[in-house]
Chains A and B, each alone.
Chain A
Amino acid sequence: MTLAELTPGRRGRIASVTGEPALVQRLYELGLCDGDEVEVLAVAPLGDPIEVRCGGSRLSLRKSDAHGVILE
């Protein structure tokens, strides 16, 4: 299961973050970390990107990038 598959209002716990090293690094810096709980808040009108909350951070990321966030 990946973050891209969560529907708004659903939560999951991050197992690992995969993908391009620069993207993975940016996601870490923005507060997504292995073991954290993450919640999908909203989906943009055309189905992409998604708004997620993790800890105190709110982020917007595209589904193609959210596929790299593997949930437990």
Chain B
Amino acid sequence: MTPGRPLTVALVGNPNAGKTTLFNALAGLRQRVGNYPGVTVDIHKGTWKSRHGSYDIFDLPGTYSLAARSPDEAVAVDLLLGRTPGETPPDVILAVVDASNLERHLYLATQLCELGKPVVIALNMIDVAEKQGIRIDTARLAQELGLRVVPIQANKARGLDALADAVQAAVADAPPQPVEFPAAFQDEVKSLAGQLPGVEPFLLRRLILDVGGQTETSFVQKHGESLGSTVTAARERLLAARCPIPAVEARARFGHIRSATALAVTRPERAPLTATDRLDRILTHRVWGTLVFLLVMAAVFQSIFTAASPAMDAIKAGKDWVADQVRSAMPPGPFTSLLADGIVEGVGSVVVFLPQILILFGFLAVLEDCGYMARAAFLMDKLMSRAGLSGKSFIPMLSSVACAVPGVMATRVIEQPRDRLATILVAPLMSCSARLPVYTLLTAAFLTEGRAWWVPGLTLFSMYLIGIVLAPIVAWSLKKTLLRGPTPAFVMEMPQYQWPHPKSIILRMYDRARAFLVRAGTMILAAMVLVWALLYFPAHDANGNSFDVQIHELREKAEAATGDRKEELEKEAAQLNGVWRRQSVLGRLGRAVEPVVAPLGWDWKIGMAAIASFPAREVVVGVLGQVYNLGKNDDLAEPLGNALKSATWNDEPGGTPVFTAATALSLMVFFALCCQCVSTLAVIRRETRSWRWPIFTFTYMTALAYVGALITYQVGRRFL
């Protein structure tokens, strides 16, 4: 290491080895996420303040092996080898292994020993191993492996000082001894080294071992097809020499590991029945497992609606109170209207959904951490495979019910690029929490009163069902056309069940809540102000008289008058208000698109609200509030649901109501299927590294939404 620079330590381990828990225990809140061009992998960097001073630590994505199969997986290898420009290679590699599944986890550790850096083994979950009767003689294991081994319990922050001691001491260690491969294999590596001078021996081994892997792909690209045939010939010679690829690697590594653990690890004669064994007898059972799965899903959804309502009511009441305070404290005029109608109502109507988002993300985090998500993927795989996807697509799709943004990000667990892309493209079809405001507003206003008790619930359920039914159909069509290819293998680890870690759950809920509030605070606020301005201006009629002032005068006269005269004046004021809104910038735009949206049963206001909600679906609620309530006498400003009920075509008092059950349903179906969400489009762009796919997603979903809304209205108005 260079003097004066802090030591750099890289954390590497299998998924579920407790690597992230260890990273959080070491770095605390002193962490940030690093991005690398061309790949979607996030590498967390942090500072570990140990008793030997500060270390820079990297948390590499969980992996089972260094056999990179994609550019994403190659990031970790490049970083460890010091091939990433601008990043210092690690001084020490910290291999995090699960003590209760030692052999499997040491497989990766033996690969790490070939990188020419000191390796320290963090023997995590030592308590779990002990509970299973597995006794590990740490000193003996260290001696057999030729590595420093430190038992730790990352979730309880135990053993971290000893870990720091080992890391500090390891800096001066000679690089570990790699596992010995058969002589025939070593000879092939040597002869390849002659052709590719200067290439790390580690990469030469990967070049031979990983058929169609990332090393082969990038080397053949660089050195030409002839290298490809050289490698293929080497593999054929190895097969003839009874060293088949890739079995030769597994045999060599597991052979080495087993001879080391044979002397250092004692296991009970019969493996005791663990909690995971008992739980899996039920949770992956054909009947009971399915039943529990359905119950869990039902519980998640039920709690979103019921458990969240007291908090939501409180937020709603708070918002109304603030809006009232603003209206009573300030004189009527454009600024008050902007503040009360635009900002407080608009942003408030979105913040109301915070409790639901917290609950949903809390559930997802718990299900993920306790190990149930893999069981859900297991149970759902066959169903998903009919749509050309795999069980791993289930988790991103389920997450998309909360929000498509984390859902799209969760597709990183899917290894096959085509499956991953198909999942990304259909995940936004799942009904996310941002659609809920639209559903609940319209259902409460038009499909509750005077109808059977089950109508609102069924309506809501149907909205979710639309996405659940259409997403697999769209995925299937994509896999048959644009994303055609062979069905990839589906192999997945079923991790041990664990108690979720409250701190990590709360951290993630906090993260989501913050992201949501920031979104509400910026994008939605900006959209609200823009919509308000477009509805307010121009504020003068052809004769240069202010609409605001005229309406205000008419209302004052009405207040002074009595009987028929009073009613007449009020009617006149309402009509003038309608004229004002129709000639506003938004009104003119809206009337231009009215022919397009009329077949859906929408007037120009709904059309405009739908278009204005491009930044985020939930914006439509605020926009509807503005277009239907703005400019009304403050005494007449009413809950949005009632304002929608009393809305009439062309604002004629007593005219034909705009909203019928069919219109409400058509609007709901539109929002169930459209992709009015800048965040989703942005995350698709980020995850696919191309503008092509967000544009594709927006286009196909908008087309689907229009057709869906059209059918709903045209059928609905005949039957409802």
Contacts and interface: CB of A to CB of B under 8 A. Distances in A.
Q: Do A and B come from one complex?
A: yes
Interface of A: 16-17, 19-31, 33-34, 41-49, 51, 55-62, 64-65
Interface in B208-267: 209-213, 245-247, 249-251, 254
Given A33-B251, A60-B377, 4 more contacts: A19-B489, A34-B247, A59-B492, A64-B487
A26 B104 contact: no
Contacts of A26: 64, 489, 491
B212 to A, nearest CB: 6
Given A49-B378, A59-B493, A65-B490, A33 B254 contact: yes
Contacts of B284: 41-42, 44, 51
A28 B249 contact: yes
* Interface size class of chain B, counting residues whose CB lies under 8 Å from the partner chain: 35 or more
B100 interface: yes
B290 A45 contact: yes
Nearest to B374: A60
A47 B674 CA distance: 35
B491 A23 contact: yes
A23 B489 contact: yes
Contacts of A34: 247, 250-251
B708 interface: no
A30 B290 contact: no
Contacts of B689: none
A55 B258 CA distance: 12
Contacts of A25: 65, 67, 209-211, 246, 249
A42 B285 contact: yes
Contacts of B290: 45
A48 B289 CA distance: 14
A22 B69 contact: yes
Nearest to A52: B494
Contact of A49 (B209, B287, B490, B495): B490
A46 B489 CA distance: 18
Interface in B139-153: none
10 smallest beta-carbon distances between A and B, as pairs: A56-B101, A21-B211, A28-B250, A46-B382, A31-B104, A58-B494, A42-B284, A29-B64, A25-B246, A29-B65
Contacts of B249: 25, 28
Contacts of A24: 246-247
Nearest to A19: B489
Nearest to B390: A62
Contact of B280 (A42, A43, A46, A59): A42
Contacts of B287: 45
A29 B67 contact: yes
A22 B211 contact: yes
A43 to B, nearest CB: 7
B95 interface: no
Nearest to B98: A56
Contacts of B490: 49, 60-62, 65
A58 B246 contact: no
Contact of A60 (B107, B209, B487, B494): B494
Interface string B288-326: 011000000000000000000000000000000000000
A24 B254 CA distance: 15
A49 B378 CA distance: 7
